[in-house]
Chains A and B, each alone.
Chain A
Amino acid sequence: MQTPMATQMLDAFQVIADPSRRQMMLLLSRENMTINALADNFEMSRPAVSKHIKIMYNAGFISITDIGRERYCTLKQDGFQELQNFIDYFDKFWVSKLKKLETILNNKSKEK
């Protein structure tokens, strides 16, 4: 973990709430890119791009590797996993509730 990156922490949902960051991740899903190459796709200052990269890095959406003089960004699964946990939770939640409804309905039928 690189210490200069440890400045801003947002949760996974806040990270993907921003359209520029979504666009950056979409570009990175096609290929790994240097920070400079990524910045060329956006009409924003280089510090602004760096800030977004820092946020995505901190939330586990990307990793950064130095190759020669360039810094390469790669998508990482950790950040996305947090979003997936949300769905998995509700999937199990509904199955247990639907089963409970079955028990309640059947018990009621027996009482008649």
Chain B
Amino acid sequence: MENAIKNEIKNEWIYEQSPKEVWGYLTQAELVALWLMPNNIKPIQGHEFQFTTKPIPSLDLDGIFQCKVLELVPFQKLVYTWKGGRGDGIFTLDTIVEWTLEKHGKGTKLSLRQHGFKYSNFSIFTAMTGGWNANVQKMIHLLNANPNGNTNA
């Protein structure tokens, strides 16, 4: 089992098309819908919009992602919030999506970072990386130190 706890997602993708062309596919609702999801995004700072998809019951998501444009640098950078939940107004998914576009030859290097997963500022995740073995060791030590101990659990 993997012990490393990731708290953000990073991806890079190279496209043959120019940053300007790729930018259109990130900011124009009908073009975004072609590859991502139906939406009503507008390239305007502060604009609030939604992505809609089928519900994802296994993750307790109702399929509507609430977003707000936080930062916008034409052809270079786009940042928006990406929140979701089961539809009761509580966001179990409360993240930020950052798109960065750079020239790559004649094409574009598109970088994606999704971060702010609610528990990412939860220091226990750092504390736990590699901490599982240590905890098991302590338990074994405790059990050995108490030879008369009953484990009724």
A residues lining the B interface (CB < 8 Å)? 2, 11, 13, 16-17, 22, 25-26, 29-32, 63-68, 72, 74-75, 77, 80, 83-87, 89-91, 94-95, 97-102, 104-106, 109
CA–CA, A76 and B22, complex, Å:
44
**Interface size band for B:** 35 or more
User: Which B residues are in CB contact (< 8 Å) with A100?
Assistant: 35
B residues lining the A interface (CB < 8 Å)? 1, 5-9, 11, 13, 15-17, 21-22, 25, 34-36, 56, 58-60, 92-93, 110, 112, 114, 117-119, 122-125, 127-128, 131-132, 135, 138-139, 142-143, 146, 148-153
Q: Tell whether A102 pairs with B152 under 8 Å between CB atoms, given A87-B9, A97-B35.
A: no
For chain B, what secondary structure do more than half of its interface residues adopt (helix, strand, loop), or is it mixed? mixed
User: In the complex, which residue of chain A has the Cβ closest to the Cβ of B95?
Assistant: A90
Shortest Cβ distance from residue B25 to the other chain A in the assembled complex, whole angstroms:
6
User: In the complex, which residue of chain B has the Cβ closest to the Cβ of A29?
Assistant: B127
Shortest Cβ distance from residue A59 to the other chain B in the assembled complex, whole angstroms:
13
Q: Tell whether A90 pairs with B16 under 8 Å between CB atoms, given A32-B139, A84-B5, A84-B6.
A: no
Shortest Cβ distance from residue A58 to the other chain B in the assembled complex, whole angstroms:
14
CA–CA, A2 and B3, complex, Å:
27
Shortest Cβ distance from residue B58 to the other chain A in the assembled complex, whole angstroms:
8
Contact for B153 among A13, A66, A87, CB less than 8 A: A66
Q: Tell whether A105 pairs with B1 under 8 Å between CB atoms, given A29-B124, A66-B149.
A: no
